[in-house]
Amino acid sequence: MARRNTADVRKLTDADIQEQIDGVRRELFDLRFEQATRQLSNTHRFKEARVKLAQLLTVQKERSSSTTSP
C-alpha cells in the first residue's frame, strides 16, 4: 500500500474525509481483534493505518480551525 500524500488528502471533501476516518478506525479495530486472536500476520498494517488516520485527522482539524478563525 503506497502512502497517500497529504496534498491528495486535502483535495477530498469533508464528507469523504470523515468517511475515511471512520473506515480507518474500523480497520484498526479489526487489526487489534486479529492480533488478539493471533490471526494477524502483517503487523506493519498498524503503522500504515495510524499514519493514514493521523493525516486525515490533521487535515480535518486544519479545516475546522480555519473556518472558526475571525
The confidence score (pLDDT) of residue 1 equals 47
Model pLDDT for residues 2-60, shown as the tens digit of each residue: 566 888 999 999 999 999 999 999 999 999 999 999 998 898 999 999 999 999 999 99
CB 63 within 8 A of CB 14: yes
Bigger pLDDT: 66 or 57? 57
Mean pLDDT throughout 51-70?
A: 88
CB 45 within 8 A of CB 31: yes
Give the amino acid at 67. Answer: T
